[in-house]
Amino acid sequence: MTDLKIETRDLDLFYGDFQALKKINFLAHENTVTAFIGPSGCGKSTLLRVFNRMNDLIDNVKISGKAYVDGKNIYKKDIDIDELRKKVGMVFQKPNPFPKSIFENVAYGLRVNGISNKTYITDKVEDSIKKAALWDEVKDKLKKSAFELSGGQQQRLCIARTLAIEPSIILMDEPASALDPISTAKVEDLIYELKANYTIVIVTHNMQQAGRVSDHTAFFYLGELVEYDETKRIFTNPKDIRTQNYVTGRFG
């Protein structure tokens, strides 16, 4: 068994009085892809945002229980959130490149983390774009605005941007839901390739996507982690009737 990268123990999360997550016990091992599935509002995105403390940006969020990344409790007082976010990268639902050049988009993460060595930045940018399988499409227009790229290319640029700061965990919040089928397939192939070096957690509404890209799948319902198992188990022989109803499309 590989190393444990992410773990939560009896994690509760409240938005004001509303309990969005109930006693979540979850863990993910190194170099695996875990998919979070479940109906809208089930808490899957909320849990994802626990791991890089993105929930901190929302008012009135209360968390109890424990969450660990690389064995460290990330809700301890002395944790450096910016450092945590360097280690736990995130790709969003809508591609959100900055209104900067393609190059600067990828270099941004390096610059804000205090790196100013030009050759290092140039090499790292190229390397990251290559890893995101985008290099051939953009190598001649690195100075052009990122907004000139197609939606799918923008999303891969956002992945490249994340890779540049060398995270070991990548969180993806419905990374392909705003993309056309071909771009979606490219992003999925990319996830499959990245698995060798990163631990990936992906939230998706698309069951087939969960099937295609993930090793493990967690099904959430009303803030509860209902079932968590190998993806093939969840898809062929789920234990909980709610999971079965969800994966077979007979929900509600």
Query: What tokens were used for 15?
Result: 């938005």
- From candidates 161, 198, 220, 225, binder to other proteins by CB under 8 A: 161
Instruction: Please choose, out of 1-9, 11-19, 62-70, 229-237, the segment that lies near other proteins by the rule CB under 8 A.
Output: 229-237
| Residue 10 CB, nearest approach to other proteins (Å) | 26
What distance in Å separates the CA atoms of residue 121 and residue 196, rounded to the nearest whole number? 24
Nearer to other proteins, 22 or 244 (CB): 244
Q: Does 162 bind other proteins (CB under 8 A)?
A: yes
Instruction: Please choose, out of 17-25, 154-162, 174-182, 198-206, the segment that lies near other proteins by the rule CB under 8 A.
Output: 154-162
Identity at 97, one-letter amino acid code: P
Q: Does 180 bind other proteins (CB under 8 A)?
A: no
CB of 37 closer than 8 Å to CB of 220: yes
Angle between helices 151-164 and 102-112 in degrees, nearest 10 = 30
CB of 215 closer than 8 Å to CB of 202: no
- From candidates 5, 6, 55, 188, binder to other proteins by CB under 8 A: 188
- From candidates 10, 25, 189, 239, binder to other proteins by CB under 8 A: 189
- From candidates 59, 78, 136, 140, binder to other proteins by CB under 8 A: 59
| Residue 113 CB, nearest approach to other proteins (Å) | 6
Nearer to other proteins, 10 or 83 (CB): 83
What distance in Å separates the CA atoms of residue 116 and residue 120, rounded to the nearest whole number? 8
* Planar angle of CA 123, 128, 170, nearest 5 degrees: 145
Q: Does 205 bind other proteins (CB under 8 A)?
A: no
CB of 6 closer than 8 Å to CB of 169: yes
Nearer to other proteins, 66 or 233 (CB): 233
* Residue numbers 72-131 binding other proteins by CB under 8 A: 82-83, 85-86, 89-90, 92, 94, 96-101, 108-109, 111-113
3-class secondary-structure state, position 111: helix
CB of 87 closer than 8 Å to CB of 69: yes
Instruction: Give the CA distances from residue 71 to residues 5, 7, 9, 86, in Å, rounded to whole numbers and listed in that order.
Output: 7, 8, 12, 16
CB of 1 closer than 8 Å to CB of 29: yes
- Per CB under 8 A, residues contacting other proteins are 52, 54, 57, 59, 82-83, 85-86, 89-90, 92, 94, 96-101, 108-109, 111-113, 144-148, 158, 161-162, 165, 185, 188-189, 192, 208, 211-213, 231-232, 235-236
